[in-house]
A and B are shown apart, each in its own frame.
Chain A
Amino acid sequence: MKKSGTPGGGLALNVRKYWPLYVMVLPGLVYLIMFRYIPIFGSVIAFQDYSVFLGISGSPFVGLKNFIRLFNSFDFGTIFSNTVILGLIKTVLLFPVPVAMALMINEIRSSWIKKSVQTAVYIPHFLSWVIVGGLVFDILGVGGLFNNIRAAMGLGVMLPMQKESWFRPIFAFSSVWKESGWGTVVYLAALSGMDPSIYESASIDGASRAQRLTRITLPLLVPTILTMFLLNIGGFLDLGFEQVYNLQTPMTYNVSDIFDTYVYRAGILQAQYSYTTAVGLFQSVIGLVLVVTFNKLANKFTEDGGLW
């Protein structure tokens, strides 16, 4: 089979020669248009006073009215700052946890302990946020481990799930519990690909294990760390509806409500379609800027680091 591309014969020739490839790609292409692109074009209702009965073509155009309402709304500042704070907790504050865990796992010499530890810390990743939310509520509820420990220390019953000041720590801890163990996979894969002869020569030169960790292993991991960091932070508005929704209670809405949960309540449940599309569009545009910026940085600072 000749590998000549398009030049010369043009597209018609390419289609004639490779028509089966065109047939193969078609279902996926139609799918992406139906489920990813048509909804994007549906965002025009953010500039309309959309009514389900009139449809997109019949609903009146209102310009930026929905955006003005958003920026002037009482909730906007709260939701925006909650989204940013929780996003930063997840992508910046907690970022080093899986790196540190991977480095520590790498130092375990007994292979069965290493394997058992890995098996244990990966498990929570496979549980849904409904399950994890259920576990959190049980542990922090009346008669849960948390209150039983308090009781043993002579303290009274306390319900953290209903306290604003506890929401962010609970969010952070549940993120670590569910995903940090799984987050080590990528770093351990990078470590296993490293040349063992570097370690051997270092230990002949008298480097201790601790020195090898900080002077050899960690620097070798830097490209992977940087790539992961930039990609994570680029997507930090995608906090995940499911985690917050399954951890929040009406008592903590002030600190727990993010764009996704707000849009769900006001948009899907209360059917304020145009207004919440404006909210979502605002979020998508910021997300776009972040992803593109940090992908560019990843390409600049790491070899082959960006997504595209």
Chain B
Amino acid sequence: MKESRSDAAFSAVMTGIMIVFALIALIPLLNILSLSLSSKVAVEMNSVNLLPVGTTLDSWKFIAGNGDIWRSFAITLFSTAAGVVLAVILNALMAYPLSKTYFAPGKIIMMLVVGTMIFKAPIVPYFLTVRGYGLYNNVLVLIVPHILSAYNMAIMRTFFKQFPAEVEEAACIDGCGMFGTLMKIVLPSSKAVLATESLFYGLTIWNQFQHPMMFISKVELYPLQLKIRQLINAGGDLSSMVVRANVNYNETTLGAAAVVFAIIPIIAIYPWVQKYFAKGAMLGSVKG
């Protein structure tokens, strides 16, 4: 069927508006990239917009040569990797029994889980409790508080509920036990939900800011986000170095390079995680 001219025009207008939205999403990123690649003079003359002016890699070299930022990067990378593994294990172990109607205390435990969604402890007693566990200025505080969210666990539980019971039963006849069923039958067939959960937990841990703000005061333990904030805040430890050396960067270009440094890993991993987005949109209902 041929499309009428007004239909084509309608579609073109919608497409046009969304292209503008896409550009708005990208322009700030392009701007920061250009700042990080521009010369000190160009930035001081306010002449950098969407493209680098007086292109130089000096800011990047300074940031890449900064041992502190790499240490923070390593701390964040380690906590994200360890956190994702722990989170997936803990969530699967909890979601599996809760997906079984014959697990007698399932209902009561689900009520406890829902309880954490509807009543959140105030931040100060939370802080005092977690500090009491010895997690103040401890790298584990970047991992442990984030490895079980009721919402994400509920998504996994919903997924397990849809797993065909006959397949599980057949496996158990062969004598593999409940742990064996979970490990050898259910989990290998749940790659999509495991990937989604890894994405959610990984993103939370990588991007976290509030927990390190509260619990990490030692600069040597700063994760990446805290380090970046320290670097982009004017008057940070960068400016003093800039003033004395005769170099082709300033606070603005170094701050921009630090931001770009933190964005690169996200952009690099983005194509691999993109295909799990639709799965992630599933609502984590705790019903049934």
Contact = CB atoms under 8 A, between A and B. Distances in A.
Interface of A: 1, 3-6, 11, 14-15, 18, 20-22, 24-25, 27-29, 31-32, 34-40, 42-43, 45-46, 52, 101, 103-105, 107-110, 113, 116-117, 119-124, 126-131, 133-135, 137-139, 142-145, 147-148, 151, 177, 181, 185-186, 188-189, 192, 203-204, 208-210, 227, 238, 241-242, 245-246, 260, 263-264, 267-268, 273, 276-277, 279-281, 283-284, 287-288, 291-292, 295, 304, 306-308
Q: Taking each of A192, A210, A308, which has the highest tally of chain B beta carbons within 10 Å of its own beta carbon?
A: A308
| Secondary structure of the A contact surface, majority rule | helix
B104 interface: yes
Contacts of B44: 143
Given A43-B125, A279-B122, A35 B21 contact: no
B265 to A, nearest CB: 10
Contacts of A192: 278
Chain B's interface size range is: 35 or more
Contacts of A116: 22
Contacts of A101: 18, 21
Given A24-B97, A148-B46, A185-B277, A277 B124 contact: yes
A287 to B, nearest CB: 7
Contacts of A42: 121, 125-126, 128-129
Given A5-B101, A121-B25, A260-B123, A104 B17 contact: yes
B93 A124 contact: no
A268 B115 CA distance: 25
A282 to B, nearest CB: 9
A39 B126 contact: yes
B35 A32 contact: no
B127 A291 contact: no
Given A32-B112, A151-B46, A209-B7, 14 more contacts: A22-B97, A22-B105, A25-B98, A42-B129, A108-B18, A121-B18, A130-B226, A130-B262, A138-B256, A148-B49, A177-B24, A189-B282, A264-B123, A267-B127
Interface string B128-172: 111001000000000011011010010000000000000001001
Nearest to A212: B7
B109 interface: yes
Contact of B11 (A107, A129, A204, A306): A107
Given A121-B22, A264-B213, A308-B114, A39 B121 contact: yes
B79 interface: no
A307 to B, nearest CB: 6
A176 to B, nearest CB: 9
Contact of A185 (B26, B144, B203, B280): B280
A126 B182 contact: no
Interface string B45-74: 010110000000000000000000000000
26 contacts: A3-B102, A5-B104, A21-B96, A21-B100, A24-B182, A27-B94, A37-B116, A45-B125, A104-B15, A117-B18, A119-B274, A121-B21, A130-B226, A133-B229, A134-B229, A143-B43, A181-B21, A185-B278, A208-B6, A208-B10, A245-B209, A276-B123, A284-B122, A287-B119, A306-B287, A308-B117
Contacts of B83: none
A267 B18 contact: no
A162 to B, nearest CB: 13
B192 interface: no
Q: Which 5 A-B pairs have the closest CB atoms?
A: A280-B122, A28-B94, A42-B125, A39-B121, A128-B207
Interface of B: 1, 3-4, 6-7, 10-11, 14-15, 17-19, 21-29, 31-32, 35, 43-44, 46, 48-49, 90-91, 93-94, 96-98, 100-105, 109, 112-130, 133, 144-145, 147-148, 150, 153, 169, 172, 177-179, 182, 203, 206-210, 213-214, 225-226, 228-229, 232, 252, 255-256, 259, 262-263, 266-267, 270, 274, 277-278, 280-287
Q: Taking each of B115, B125, B285, B287, which has the highest tally of chain A beta carbons within 10 Å of its own beta carbon?
A: B125
B209 A246 contact: yes
A38 B129 contact: yes
B48 to A, nearest CB: 7
B130 A35 contact: yes
B32 A138 contact: yes
Contacts of A268: 123-124, 127, 214
Given A138-B252, A291-B118, A130 B15 contact: no
Given A40-B119, A264-B213, A264-B214, A113 B19 contact: yes
Contacts of B172: 1
A116 B286 CA distance: 34
Contact of A131 (B23, B153, B213, B228): B228
